Amino acid sequence: MQYQNPIIRGFNPDPSICRVGNDFYLVTSSFEFFPGIPVYHSTDLVNWRQIGNCIERPSQLPFETAKAGEGIWAPTIRYHLGLFYVTSTFKGYGNFIIHSADPATGWSDPVKVNMTGIDPSILFDGDKAYYCTNQRGADDREAISLAEIDPDTGEMLSGARMIWHGMSNDRPQYLEAPHIYHIGNWYYLLAAEGGTGFSHMITAARSRGIWGPYASCEKPLLTNRYTKGTGVACSGHGDLFEDGHGNWWIVHLATRPDDLWYSHIGRETFLLPVTWEHDWPVIDDGVSHIASEGPLWAEQKPLEPWQADFSCRQNEWLLVRKPIWENYEFLGDQLLLIPSTDQLSSPLGQPTFLGMRQMDIECTVETEISFDPAADGSEAGLVIYIADYGYYAFGIKREQGKKWIIVYRQDSSFVPVQIPAENGPIRLKIKASKQEYTLSCACSRQSFQRISTVPVLTKADAGKGFTGTLIGLYALCSASEKSKAAILSFTMKQGT
């Protein structure tokens, strides 16, 4: 059956998956955004819904310390004896494990694992649990290391032992993202090499015993490094699984690039079928594609429009770093935002901001806002955000005692837009395409008028590009502001 990649669109890198009966659960990286580690659910592999977040309480991890691109990296999800386990890295905190009986909620406080390296993974094998990262040894060669652990306490029950040095052995590059599997009579080790850009790939090795020695597969399992112009780049960082029907698959990250490899909406989650040859996993031509085919049992459906429910904090909403919940009032028929003096441009700020992942390259976002700021410098509206050094603001602002519709970017080379704003609620619309965003507004029940067309945020605007574009709501002030921004509606839908 045919399907289209990515299966989870927008900023969703480093996917990891587990199956429990007929249900599949998938997690991805979330970096400095809170809540952390989104949990997606599916019964058919191609239609996914976010059901929760693993890091749902600010007390679980020190988000206030997370600069852009830091925070949570590369989670792994596994299921064992009635519990879901997720392990990940928090930059500056280290590796940790959490668990829950219900993947949608109720995740434990983290236990730390005293093992260095990033991208940790767990293998439950019989009555033992093993933990692997890309911890290096005394000779400082890139390596994958393994230890036996207690997954409930994080205690290491053995020393960490290097088990593999990558496909090129003496000269691996960015060896990371290890996953170990016990399949048949073999232990398989999958990893990522080549960095998360154009040279990214998935490599593999196998051994008869958990501790090795591991023999490398002679070529990468997957890479798009030689396939410029196919519409897919950066393929790597995968997790292997069986679907309960005897079929094998891999989920992995990739981009739909703007240029050679970068995508402003971020690295996304792709799915490919896997077969076996001579006891090695094989991916057809070793390349990821948009149009794919595999042994599915359900049709892939279009994405449904998303509409905010202001009676609760929905799973899809993201904040920057540790939330200040008193700045958000969910009243059912509307959301009140209290402007913060922390700005969107602050490297460690906690601005009033609610965003959601841009759901596709082409999408449309609309909101209706009522805001009558009392102080000069106060503003609220929509924001297109990748990082504190890469965003557009589009909203209402008071300057010199007057109210304006404004568009600006955190970049001195961009010429801001400022036009007079009428009183009363104002509707704002963003139409996203591969190259640009078209920004429009409408007062009262009038038709939309284009205000500006701005280019998408490039790699130069957004740094390394670990994250991807969020589109959402914000409210800021330069000093104190007694007025609140009333958000009357917010919707996002696929297409323009």
Indicate whether 231 and 348 sit together in one domain. Answer: no
Is 191 part of a structural domain of the chain? yes
Is 82 part of a structural domain of the chain? yes
Indicate whether 241 and 352 sit together in one domain. Answer: no
| This prediction's pTM | 0.97
Indicate whether 248 and 363 sit together in one domain. Answer: no
Indicate whether 75 and 42 sit together in one domain. Answer: yes
Output 226-229 pairs: Cβ under 8 A, ≥24 positions apart: 227/287, 228/260
Is 424 part of a structural domain of the chain? yes
Which pLDDT score is estimated for 481? 82
Active site residues: 14, 176
The Cα angle at residue 234 between residues 2 and 173, in degrees rounded to 5: 140
Return the CATH number at 371: 2.60.120.200
Tens of pLDDT along 55-73?
A: 999 999 999 999 999 999 9
Which pLDDT score is estimated for 173? 82
Indicate whether 409 and 377 sit together in one domain. Answer: yes
Which pLDDT score is estimated for 177? 97
Which pLDDT score is estimated for 170? 61
What is the pLDDT confidence band of residue 290, given thresholds at 50, 70 and 90? very high
Given a cut of 80, is residue 405 above it in pLDDT? yes
| Distance of alpha carbon 224 from alpha carbon 409, whole angstroms | 33
Tens of pLDDT along 234-243?
A: 999 999 999 9
Tens of pLDDT along 148-204?
A: 999 999 999 999 999 999 987 666 689 999 999 999 999 999 999 999 888 999 999
What share of the chain in percent tops pLDDT 70? 99
Indicate whether 289 and 322 sit together in one domain. Answer: no
Tens of pLDDT along 130-153?
A: 999 999 988 888 999 999 999 999
Is 435 part of a structural domain of the chain? yes
Indicate whether 287 and 312 sit together in one domain. Answer: no
Buried b (16+ CB within 10 A) or exposed e, 271-295: bbbbeeeeeebbbeebbbbeebebe
Indicate whether 45 and 160 sit together in one domain. Answer: yes
What's the rounded mean pLDDT across residues 416-433? 94
Out of 105-109, 167-171, 221-225, pick the least confident: 167-171
| Distance of alpha carbon 472 from alpha carbon 395, whole angstroms | 11
Which pLDDT score is estimated for 206? 98
Is 301 part of a structural domain of the chain? no
Indicate whether 162 and 311 sit together in one domain. Answer: no
Out of 194-203, 258-267, 430-439, pick the least confident: 258-267
> Which of 240, 266, 293 is the last residue in one of the domains?
293
> Which of 293, 317, 338 is the last residue in one of the domains?
293
Out of 104-113, 148-157, 439-448, pick the least confident: 439-448
Return the CATH number at 111: 2.115.10.20
Kindly report the average pLDDT of the chain as a whole number.
Answer: 95
> Which of 293, 317, 341 is the last residue in one of the domains?
293
Partnered with residue 449 across adjacent β-strands are 441
Is 298 part of a structural domain of the chain? no
Which pLDDT score is estimated for 272? 98
Indicate whether 249 and 393 sit together in one domain. Answer: no
Is 300 part of a structural domain of the chain? no
Given a cut of 70, is residue 226 above it in pLDDT? yes
Given a cut of 80, is residue 462 above it in pLDDT? no
What count of other Cβ atoms lies within 10 Å of the Cβ of residue 358? 28
Task: Give the list of residues 6+ apart from residue 181 with CB closer than 8 angstroms, or none.
Answer: 123, 187, 188, 190, 240
Is 299 part of a structural domain of the chain? no
Indicate whether 483 and 371 sit together in one domain. Answer: yes
Which pLDDT score is estimated for 227? 84
Number of domains in the chain: 2
- Host domain of residue 287: 2-293
Which pLDDT score is estimated for 366? 98
Indicate whether 103 and 50 sit together in one domain. Answer: yes
